[in-house]
Amino acid sequence: MALPTKIQLEIVTPDKSVVREDVDEVELPGSDGYFGVLPGHTPLLATLQVGEMWYRTGAEKHYLALAFGFVEVLPDRVTVLAQLAERAQDIDIARAEAAKRRAEERMAASVPDIDFERARVAMMKSLIRLQVASRSRTQV
């Protein structure tokens, strides 16, 4: 059996379908670190962490902010079920910066009933959004 030459990538969130296209390569933020997928990859199920993901079609890379969920990898298909998935061009930078400031304030406050883990996750999401958004602004 011949190896596939493309990967069918599908990324969905609880709200919408974000990506559905044939691609050449994918990199994802797994719970144990980033991992890449090429056509013909061994089947795999993995949990996702907050991070930047990208996929490549030809020479063009597309970046997304991703947070939590699962990925199923098959030799010819990658299916991402994520809590959050935002394309670089769809990220509201002002909103992400405001979220970062709020998270910093919560983490710096010495209030005993603060949910520190929730503030830390909010901080990670805002930082990833800003990182991904900056990639779309710097590409020519």
pLDDT above 70 (res 44): yes
Matching residue, tokens 């390569």: 25
For the chain, list the domains and their CATH numbers.
7-88 (2.60.15.10), 91-138 (1.20.5.440)
Tokens, residue 43: 């089947």
pTM more than 0.95:
no
Q: Which residue has the tokens 């990506």?
A: 19
Query: CA 107 → CA 3, 40, 85, 95, 97, distances in Å?
Result: 49, 44, 25, 18, 15
Q: Kindly tell me if the per-residue pLDDT of 62 is higher than 70.
A: yes
**106-124, pLDDT tens digit by residue?**
878 766 666 777 878 888 8
